[in-house]
Structure 1
Amino acid sequence: MAVKERQRLDKLLASMGFGTRKEIKKLIKEKKVQVNGELARDPGLHVLPGRDYIEVNGEPIEYRQYIYLMLNKPRGVLSATDDRFAKVVVDLLPPRYRAYHPFPVGRLDKDAEGLLLLTNDGKLAHQLLSPRKHVPKTYYAVVCGMVTETDVESFHQGVILHDGYRTMPGELKILRPGPESEVELTIYEGKYHQVKRMFAAVGKKITYLKRIAMGPLVLDKLLKPGEYRELTAEEISRLRKLNPPG
């Protein structure tokens, strides 16, 4: 994506994860950087991202203002950008992605896993998280206790949590009933620990929780916990159509 503002070559390459500005200067000195087919000699050369053709070590670089990553968040990792004591989701990314300063759109509990969108597109993130948008989020859960049709109806009506709050109606599907029931639940809001609190309100406890969808975005089954991939152009388009400007 082209931008209007010119930037210093060393600053641009550093922001894209090619190293520190000192390391970029070394690359330029070693004649490993070209701009528009000519060797770059000045780290302070001003370039127009997305317009000027830049190569590093013979490989063309693609400037992007925004990145969009689908992560299968593993258990034990915080949905945050930094933490003094615990591992966070951005720690799972290589420097070339961390350089864009992505952040998680919403959060998953530390002991939950599944779909998490990471991006630096603040406008899209705000739209997806806006309470007024009611973006659906679907979870697969293993529940200690027999989940019944009575629970399905309770969730459909909206569950009254222990603090007195009544949730929006949710869509509960029983996949396998039993002493340990397997279910799918779709909710349209994102209260703190909401899924766990909804089941606690009907006397049951979640032992495993995995988010499998958010709006039109469905977790890629090929992604193992801790793995990620960039969203396709079609997936990005569907997210934007879900939240048109205005």
Structure 2
Amino acid sequence: MPYQQQKTVLSPPASLPPAERRRASPGVMAALQVGLEACAMAGVHPADPASVFASSGGDGRICHAICSALASGDTMISPTQFHNSVHNAISGYWGIAAGAMTPSSVVSAYDGSFSAGLLEAMTLLVGEQRPVLLIACDSDYPQPLYDARPVPDTFAVALLLTATPHPGKTIAQLSFCGDALFTDSAVQLMDDIALEGLRRSIPAARCLPLLQAIARSEAGRIVLDYVNLPHLAVDVAPCS
């Protein structure tokens, strides 16, 4: 289907208790929504997988609110905002919503955060020998932060990774490329101009070339943004 550009619409997840539901930021709401959907599609209970959360900068709106409070001379910062300002807040909300007590990592690598999260998730998958849920999420920044970091909207993606295929559930096989794990080759772009704009403007959306290959059941090597050069190379193939 052609991409229809519009603002992301979010709603607080019913899986959170009322108090946490009221405090959930757009980033938290988006991350929980895609994470729960990925687990449902995979037929995996949300409490079972280990988890990796990737974000380029945490919650921009809360950062703005705290900075504004400090700049106004009133140093009494909201405890709720402070609680939600830490980079691993999404991991905590996921633990509450899913009842998860499994290993969890939180990573940030600026525009390469999705690739850093994917590396962390694959490593955790091998080390823990259990399913791993990767969630990458970024949310928009208000002015004046937007001038320095023009992220226009909230975007989240979740991948449920397993070491072996689950018949009827697994839709693609991902693998790193051995000696070619990192490459100086050009990052793969999106053919659609609007989707390419989305990929460039939101760090978590740097996953779009990989998602496109999965959606089209294509096989090949996808080169993704990482931390400057080199880039990250991922082999993808459809599962029969």
TM-score normalised by L of structure 2: 0.26
TM-score normalised by L of structure 1: 0.25
Q: Which has the higher contact order (CA 8 A, sep 6+)?
A: 2
Higher strand proportion, which one? 1
Higher helix proportion, which one? 2
> Higher Cα Rg: structure 1 or 2?
1
